Amino acid sequence: MRTRTVTAALVVLLATTAVAAWAEQKDAVGCKDHPLFNRMPTYWIHGCSTKEFDAHVFNVGKGKT
């Protein structure tokens, strides 16, 4: 009985480890981290785009520049 329990526990452990390794996310093709910033653990790059120049308008409170 004890041998069956240990065997079942090992099978579950191996299956869980295999699924975790298989499910690991990969970065999108052609994307990489910027050299000035470290990546946060367990995060990945979903998508990226390269532009020569771009701008973004930020909303600020009234009377502020």
Task: Name residue 56's amino acid.
Answer: H
For 40, the token pair is: 């946060």
pLDDT band at 25 (very low <50, low <70, confident <90, very high): confident
Residues 27 and 44: their CA atoms lie apart, in Å, by 5
**Closest to 31 in 3D by CA, of 48, 16, 43:** 48
Residues 63 and 18: their CA atoms lie apart, in Å, by 57
**What's the pLDDT at 53?**
92
For 19, the token pair is: 């699924």
Poorest-pLDDT segment among 19-23, 26-30, 32-36: 19-23
